[in-house]
Amino acid sequence: MKVEIRNLGVIEKAEIDLKPLTVFIGGNGEGKTWAAYTLSAIFGQHGYRHYLKAYLDGNTKEGYPTLDSALQQLFEEGNAQIDAIQFANEYAETYINDVARLTPNRMRSFMATDRANFNDLHVHLNLAETKAEFLERIKAASVQRKISLGLLNALKETGDGILYFYSEGDILKKLPRKAIKQFVVREIFQILHRAFYDYIYTFPTERTAFITFPFSPFPRREVRTEELLTDTDQSEFEQRGTPLVEPVKNFLNMIILSYQKEHRQRREEEINKNPQLGEYVKLADFLEKEILRGTVGFETAELREELLFQPEENTKLEMPIVSSMVKELAPLVLCLRYLVERNELLIIDEPEMNLHPAAQVEIAEFLAMLVNAGLHVLITTHSPYIVDHLANLMQAAKHEDPDSIKEMFYLERTDAFIPQEKVSVYLFEDGTAKNIISEEGTINWETFGRVSDDLSRIYANLLKIQD
């Protein structure tokens, strides 16, 4: 999927091809994180909610005649249907670009700032190269919802392109037309929006601090992710005068859900029905065993849930006193074990934070494993170890006998080898972003090399002076 971003902070114009694994590199202050967060503002539930409200209020640019016809039929006959695949084929690009068009209006709120200016921000998306895959996800989507005790129902089965709306007899007349329209529009827009990414989880740089907080005092009833901290809610931290950007709220939602015992139990039930989810639990276990060298888990203490790290059999440690690497990676363990599903996007700001170079190489391999397991990953990074090793992983994917070379790699897993067509790497500098993967799969990361050259030159000059 191609994305063009213009006038975002220091970014004048950047053209980015989002792949299953997308990497942003560059110096500090070059716009990497802002670009990543802007994409989450468009593709995340925040973008969907904002657009849904704007459409229902009549404040969007585009119209959807097919949707209008289905609504009219529903009002007159009590049932209607929309071919979701045909609708997506015709309107998906229109829809997501209209979502993007509204993004500048909410970026100050999204980024929790009164000072930054987003008035000239422009984002345009092109789905041409990914349309077929997108339509397959529409086909695979399933819907089964109702409002007002079944007065109005929505149904779409997996593998069927038709989204049905129906009621019984004249009973639909008891519902206001506004409620009917809201229900129908919500269902079709949700199918469209989640076909891009089913959900987005963000891992901001603040994660190593927030993972140490005792989250049990947060909402005690079981809640779903979309019911937690929305753009209009105030979190516990904000009530104390600390504004939070939406990606941080998203991160807090993830941790809060993980703390809820009812949610963890429901996840176990879902795993029994969907073996794919079990693969993500296995990946969480692998991350603990091979990189963290210990386990992350919950324990009930004094009527509250406590997150602990167990490095060995008879030792358990509270999060505030564990190593910085554990604080860094524990949220990823929780996300994989209790939350993620296929076709979801993880946005990780600087995954190398607090990691030894060897662990940085391991995490590069692990991120590739996540992509090969059906997730999407976007990272910003300053790590030459991650970027260098990514080139190795792409080359390894071309090898005729992957098993014969796996012992050369840190995690010794062939599912860490990733095809080049699944990867994009962009260098952010001088107001733009440029693709730095060659056709052969090498990565030209001058931004790191220049510093190494400077250090070598300084050392050489010092030797000359001493002579």
Q: What is the pTM of this model?
A: 0.92
Q: What is the mean pLDDT of the chain?
A: 90
Distance set, CA 279 to CA 272, 285, 416 (Å): 12, 10, 14
Max Cα–Cα distance, the chain, nearest Å: 98
87 or 152, which is more confident? Answer: 87
Tell me the average pLDDT across 402-415.
96
Return the axis-axis angle of helices 45-56 and 32-43, rounded to nearest 10°: 50
Confidence of residue 457 (pLDDT cuts 50, 70, 90): confident
Average pLDDT on 158-174 reads: 84
Residue-level pLDDT at 461: 82
CA distance 385 to 359: 10
What mean pLDDT is predicted for residues 102-128? 95
First to last CA, the chain: 57
Q: What torsion, rounded to 10 degrees, do the Cα atoms 240, 241, 244, 248 define?
A: -30
Q: What is the pLDDT of residue 229?
A: 43
What value does the mean pLDDT take over residues 235-241?
A: 54
Average pLDDT over residues 357-372: 97
| Alpha-carbon span 149 to 163, nearest angstrom | 19
Confidence of residue 78 (pLDDT cuts 50, 70, 90): confident
Q: What is the rounded CA–CA span in Å between residue 155 and residue 172?
A: 16
Does the structure show a pLDDT above 90 at 207? Answer: yes
Per-residue pLDDT at 369 exceeds 90 = yes
Query: pLDDT exceeding 90 applies to what percent of the chain?
Result: 78
